[in-house]
Structure 1
Amino acid sequence: MGTKSDKSDASPAQAASPQSGAAKINGAGSTFVYPCMTKWASEYNKKTGLQVNYQSIGSSGGINQVRQNTTDFGATDTPMNAEQMKETNNEILHIPVVMGAVAVTYNVAGVDKPLKLSGQTIADIYLGKIKKWNDAAIAKTNDGVKLPETDIVTVQRADGSGTTGVFSDFLSKVSPEWKEKVGTGLSLKWPTQGVASKGNEGVAGSVQRTANSIGYVEVVYAQQNKMAVAEIQNAAGEFVTPSVDSVSKAAADLKEIPDDLRLSITNAAAPGAYPIAGITWALARRKIANPESAKAVKDFLAFALGDEAQGMVATLNYSKLGGDLLKKARDKAALIE
């Protein structure tokens, strides 16, 4: 589908990193996209010999490293804000590469089928208003489920996180109180003390170890660890499981795509859409000082946006880009020089 991507997929890229001078490039950021980025890096290395080293340090870290020019590319699940863009003279490109779901997971003994939760209920849990698992708001959407009269333990990210950005963006859309008191961001002032954990891996581990806990992770981490995952009520009133298909339906609801490609797909109105869905962006400087590094980053991102690499993501429970969003992402990556 895209001649630029096809050409890049077929052409070996031997590039020197500005940091090391070796035939590799360095990336850092989102833990959300780490399983996917690892797969792409492995496949690209087999094709080209280029080594792609990606550090799973969180979206805030990825943004900071690109802004400080200490990595070749970054990755984030929440776009840079207007102030950050202004500070870098808008020279950092946001290039969508894949989509995924933030799963709400929990560890409640005796609950043997997926809980159904509304966004308002989740917001109220993290606001500290709903304190017990057998609260009327939870019971209302889980008829027939025996809920224990135990305190809810919230688990949240300790580091700056795009997963938190997607999660809080959704809650801000469905809960006016959350929007006013907490808001949206990679790092939040959490109303509940809870258990603070680093990375998606850390949150998943904390939920597994902590009885009566609730947390949020990229769905791949929940599935790999065989964790309980809630069905979340969407804008159409349906309770939806996070999946490749339900995330794709959220993106299909897009009406307009801004030129800078910074957009949100949470709380989509389409039937069947999973409401806590997000995009991961690669971040790259439009002008990279080292020509070999520029070519290497450009070629790797062209590969990631090519039909072959996009075709790999469903096996990892991510959703591929499509339509205008994919075309615009390819066009944006082609601007790197």
Structure 2
Amino acid sequence: MNFKQYGRPAVIAIAAALALSSCAANEGAAPTDGAASTLTGTINAGGASSQQAAQEAWTAAFQKTNPDVTINYDPSGSGAGREAFIAGGSDFAGSDSFLKDEELAGDFATCAPDSKAVDLPVYISPIAVIFNVEGVTDLNLDAATLAKIFKGDITTWNDPAIAALNKDAKLPSTPITAVHRSDDSGTTKNFSDYLNQVAPDVWTEKPADPFPYKTGEGAQGTSGVVDAVTNGVGTIGYADASRAGDLGVAKIKVGDKFVGYTADAAAAVVNDSPLVEGRDASDLAIALDRKTTDATHYPLVLVSYAIVCTEYADADQAALVKAYVGYMAGAEGQAEAAKSAGAAPLSTELQDKVAAVLKAVK
């Protein structure tokens, strides 16, 4: 995996910790020798709605082996999750966006004084371009056309730009309703990042959690987008692929081919992408490479993070978070997310990096 790092003096310490990481990921999480769990308490967390299906599966599995632990996860959206964590209202945040520089520069009420928070990848998923257009079952879109649809530059389904990419389709003259997230959303930021990297002449706004254009129809959360596309006419939207259901899903152009999403194709992009430069060695934020022309890759992908403290104000909560996030990012948790939510498992190397960071959390 090509996780490049620049200017990080603590790399050596992390590398040393990797040697001890094989047991750290599930430390206290799932006894396998018949011993009862000693963990007790409540974890309150929230954020990315993309993680909802995985969180439901993770919570159920973790609580089977840790019956005295209660886990509450509110899929309120990435922005709301980060805000709650920063304000001290949760023990960790789920976020499809890694912490912004200005957030990192501030204080975290959940954390001990003079300590910070870090981004730990726990969930990889394709973003599906979902649609509901009568008579259309297959749809090809390149980045520029997709960008024009969501900017409002293309307004009907039989537009020549769409027709040129779908020569065998019977496209209606139905008006397009492009549905975006109305809340601050890491899925929106990833969607915008893809369009800004691949079609920058069209999608000129830099990626951010709020949807950047005053076009289309807004809907709250992943469920809101899926419901609006499902119940609308001539609708298109974007959502975590685990929630696409029976809706049509467009193929996107990668190189000279149109590619549908798969977990393996999403994971391939993550594996070939570097870490964000200039951050602490314990921060594992990933700078996704959207410009690939390799048709075995699906570049419209999100990496969702658990944002945790390097040191918690409450040591008991630190132990709970370490155990649960370690389970999420470890082999068992990743297999559960793949089975229950169609997620792409973190590579063994990335699992080990997360485990090494968690081992140092206190």
1:229 aligns with 2:249: yes
Give deviations 1:163-208, integer Å, cap 9, x for gaps.
101101101101223443x32111133241x211000000000011
Instruction: Report SS of the residue matched to 1:33.
Output: helix
Instruction: Report SS of the residue matched to 2:174.
Output: coil
Are the counterparts in 1 of residues 330 and 351 from structure 2 also a CA contact under 8 Å? Answer: no
Give deviations 1:257-293, integer Å, cap 9, x for gaps.
6532122335252431112111110011221111111
Are the counterparts in 2 of residues 294 and 336 from structure 1 also a CA contact under 8 Å? Answer: yes
Instruction: Report SS of the residue matched to 1:87.
Output: coil
1:189 aligned partner: 212
Write the distance in 1 (CA, Å) between the matches of 2:56 and 2:153. 39
- What is the Cα deviation at residue 256 of structure 1? 5.2
Q: Which amino acid aligns with 1:48?
A: N
Write the distance in 2 (CA, Å) between the matches of 1:330 and 1:35. 23
Give deviations 1:313-332, integer Å, cap 9, x for gaps.
22221111004322222222
The counterpart of 1:14, out of the listed 29, 39, 53, is 39
1:45 aligns with 2:63: yes
- What is the Cα deviation at residue 138 of structure 1? 0.9
Instruction: Report SS of the residue matched to 1:79.
Output: coil
Are the counterparts in 1 of residues 181 and 225 from structure 2 also a CA contact under 8 Å? Answer: yes
Superposition TM-score, scaled by structure 1 size:
0.91
The counterpart of 1:205, out of the listed 191, 216, 227, is 227
Instruction: Report SS of the residue matched to 2:332.
Output: helix
Q: How does 1:165-176 map to 2 (within 5 A)?
A: 165-176=189-200
Q: Which amino acid aligns with 2:117?
A: I
The alpha-carbon distance between structure 1 residues 191 and 71, as it changes in their structure 2 partners (threshold 3 A), is same
1:311 aligns with 2:335: yes
Give deviations 1:115-158, integer Å, cap 9, x for gaps.
01111111011122111111111111111101011211111111
Q: How does 1:289-308 map to 2 (within 5 A)?
A: 289-308=313-332
Are the counterparts in 2 of residues 25 and 293 from structure 1 also a CA contact under 8 Å? Answer: yes
1:19 aligned partner: none
Aligned-pair identity (%): 27
Q: Which amino acid aligns with 1:109?
A: E
Are the counterparts in 1 of residues 131 and 229 from structure 2 also a CA contact under 8 Å? Answer: yes
Instruction: Report SS of the residue matched to 2:105.
Output: helix
Write the distance in 2 (CA, Å) between the matches of 1:256 and 1:91. 18
Write the distance in 2 (CA, Å) between the matches of 1:206 and 1:65. 27
Instruction: Report SS of the residue matched to 1:242.
Output: coil
Q: Which amino acid aligns with 1:62?
A: G
Give deviations 1:34-78, integer Å, cap 9, x for gaps.
100111011000001111110010000111011111101110001
1:29 aligns with 2:47: yes
Are the counterparts in 2 of residues 266 and 278 from structure 1 also a CA contact under 8 Å? Answer: no
1:18 aligned partner: none
Q: Which amino acid aligns with 1:3?
A: C
Instruction: Report SS of the residue matched to 1:8.
Output: coil
* Gap runs ≥5 in structure 2: 1-20, 32-36, 108-113
Are the counterparts in 2 of residues 60 and 162 from structure 1 also a CA contact under 8 Å? Answer: yes
Further displaced range: 249-258 or 308-317: 249-258
Give deviations 1:201-245, integer Å, cap 9, x for gaps.
00000011110111111111112xx111111112x3321112212
Q: Which amino acid aligns with 2:219?
A: S
Superposition TM-score, scaled by structure 2 size:
0.85
1:164 aligned partner: 188
- What is the Cα deviation at residue 95 of structure 1? 0.8
Are the counterparts in 1 of residues 82 and 95 from structure 2 also a CA contact under 8 Å? Answer: yes
1:105 aligns with 2:125: no
Instruction: Report SS of the residue matched to 2:49.
Output: coil
1:69 aligns with 2:93: no
Write the distance in 2 (CA, Å) between the matches of 1:264 and 1:157. 22
- What is the Cα deviation at residue 31 of structure 1? 0.1
2:270 aligned partner: 251
Further displaced range: 1-10 or 56-65: 1-10
The alpha-carbon distance between structure 1 residues 6 and 76, as it changes in their structure 2 partners (threshold 3 A), is closer
Instruction: Report SS of the residue matched to 1:51.
Output: strand
Write the distance in 1 (CA, Å) between the matches of 2:194 and 2:142. 11
1:54 aligns with 2:73: yes
Q: Which amino acid aligns with 2:259?
A: V
The alpha-carbon distance between structure 1 residues 266 and 8, as it changes in their structure 2 partners (threshold 3 A), is farther
The alpha-carbon distance between structure 1 residues 45 and 131, as it changes in their structure 2 partners (threshold 3 A), is same
Are the counterparts in 2 of residues 99 and 279 from structure 1 also a CA contact under 8 Å? Answer: yes
Instruction: Report SS of the residue matched to 1:10.
Output: coil
2:25 aligned partner: 5
Q: Which amino acid aligns with 2:29?
A: D
